[in-house]
Amino acid sequence: MTEEQVKQIVIDIINEIAPDEDTSNLKSEVNLRDQMDLDSMDFLDIVMELRKQHGIEVPEEDYPKLASLDSCADYLTPKFNS
């Protein structure tokens, strides 16, 4: 799986959990919370959906690695490919 595909998976999850947000022009390098109205509960939802939909576990200490689409791709791509 490519990093671009992983980014799209994260965007798809955000579309589910924050359906009022416009995710069409997200900047990959910018923190998601600086571009959208996301709170800590939303990040827990992202973690839950990664677990439910893709069997990916994100331990609590790694939550900061989900800050931006780029950091998500860096962190999650090896997990998707392992």
Partner 1 sequence: MNRPRIVITGVGLTSPNGNSISEFRDNLLRGVANIQEIDMRYMGKVPAGVCDFEATKYQSRKELRVGTRAGSIAIYCASEAIANSAIDFPNYDKDRIGVYIGTTEHGNVETENEIYNISKFDYDTRYWTHHHNPRTVANNPAGEITINLGITGPHYTIGAACAAGNAGLIQAVQMLQLNEVDFALAGGVSESIQTFGIFAGFKSQGALAKHDDPNKASRPFDISRNGIVVSEGGCLFTLERLDDALERGASIIAEIIGYCMNSDASDYVLPNPERQSECMLKAVRSSGLALSDIDLISTHATSTPQGDIQECKAIREVFQNCPSTYINNSKGFIGHAMGAAGALELAGNLPSFRDNTIHPTINIDTLDEECTLNNLVINHPLKVDSIKYILNNSFGMLGINSALVLKKYDE
Question: Minimum distance between the CB of residue 3 and partner 1, rounded to whole angstroms?
Answer: 27
- Binding of partner 1 at residue 61 (CB under 8 A)? no
- Binding of partner 1 at residue 60 (CB under 8 A)? no
- Binding of partner 1 at residue 58 (CB under 8 A)? no
Question: Minimum distance between the CB of residue 42 and partner 1, rounded to whole angstroms?
Answer: 8
Provide DSSP, 24-73: TT--TTSBHHHHS---HHHHHHHHHHHHHHH-----GGGGGGGSBHHHHH
* 8 or 53: CB nearest partner 1: 53
Using N-to-C axis directions, what is the helix angle for 69-81 and 3-17, rounded to 10°? 110
